[in-house]
Amino acid sequence: MNFREMRSRLISSYGRFVFFPGDPETHKLISRRAFTHLVIDGSHVAVYSQRGMEEEIESMEENYEIIYGTPKFEGTYYVSPYTRVGNLNFQWKNGMDILRDTLRKPFPEEINILKSLGESIQNALGRFFQKIELGMSEMEMKSILECELLKSGVEEFFYPSIVISGKRSRWVIPKSTEEKISQGKIIYIDASPMKDGYYLSFSRVILTEERKEWIDAIERINTMYDTLYRSVRSGIKCDYLHALVKKVGEFPHYSAVPAGGFYQPYAPSDCILEDGMVMTVVPSIYTEDGVIRVKRNVLVEKESIKFLD
């Protein structure tokens, strides 16, 4: 029984569930997406597919029943909170609370995928920093970033990558343009590479001048990460983590969120960090010249944390 089958069995202990190929939890339950419905009902898992998809769906790693046809639903089923419920032809309930428990943290096999993805990010960033130069456009740098990530084994991206300079980096969802990057600007990069359906979200900044305000901001973030490394481990409250991250400055969003598409931990909250949880730490300092944000992904261990990127 692989980790996907184990999670399906765990979900089944809470009730009957239906997943669809577009649900973000799907890759944590089945290794192929050539299906229309994934139905978990007690210890039985049925994968409904259509003729023409045999080669792909029959090569899945999981020992699920394959049915070529359309399921007949009786009674009520839970669905992912991300499911488009407008087209459902059965009675349903929001399965958020169940998924918060069953997707609280990854299995060891999934941690290995995230570690591999973190290594791909580090390798790609090293080559990216060597290839970029002032005078390039934001779009050109973005293309280099994504190219290097793909060369490192990344398969796709969870959201559009960002390379942007100057004050527009303060926007909620900035978009790269053909604007040339010049001296005296903060260059902000943000990406969400995926491997085997799992993603990590990271960000970095490049300072094109040694301005005191910018250097001080980077030093505050680095000091925070050093404190995080020395004091955060399994058993620590998320509110404590939140207080550490917020010491770098006030910002309006979460200080830490689950990584890899899992459901815990969020900071601030009353949750307790557990061995094996993964999270993205999001310290941000907003200056008049742009945002200085260094998102890093962290694996919680019993005695410490491990940086994945």
Mean pLDDT per 10-residue interval, the chain, length 309 residues? 96 97 95 96 95 93 96 96 93 96 96 97 97 97 98 96 95 93 96 95 96 97 96 96 93 94 94 97 96 97 95
The pLDDT of residue 250 = 85
Residue 185 vs residues 39, 111, 127, 168, 240: alpha-carbon distances, Å: 52, 37, 21, 11, 34
Determine the pLDDT at residue 199: 96
pLDDT value, residue 188: 98
What confidence score (pLDDT) does residue 87 get? 87
What letters, b where the CB count within 10 A reaches 16 and e where it falls short, cover 233-259? Answer: ebebbbeebbebbeebbebeebbbbbb
Residue-range domains of the chain with CATH: 3-102 (3.40.350.10), 108-307 (3.90.230.10)
The predicted pLDDT at position 63 comes to 96
Tens of pLDDT, residue by residue over 80-102, are: 999 999 989 999 999 999 999 99
Reported as a single tens digit per residue, the pLDDT across 281-301 is 999 999 999 999 999 999 999
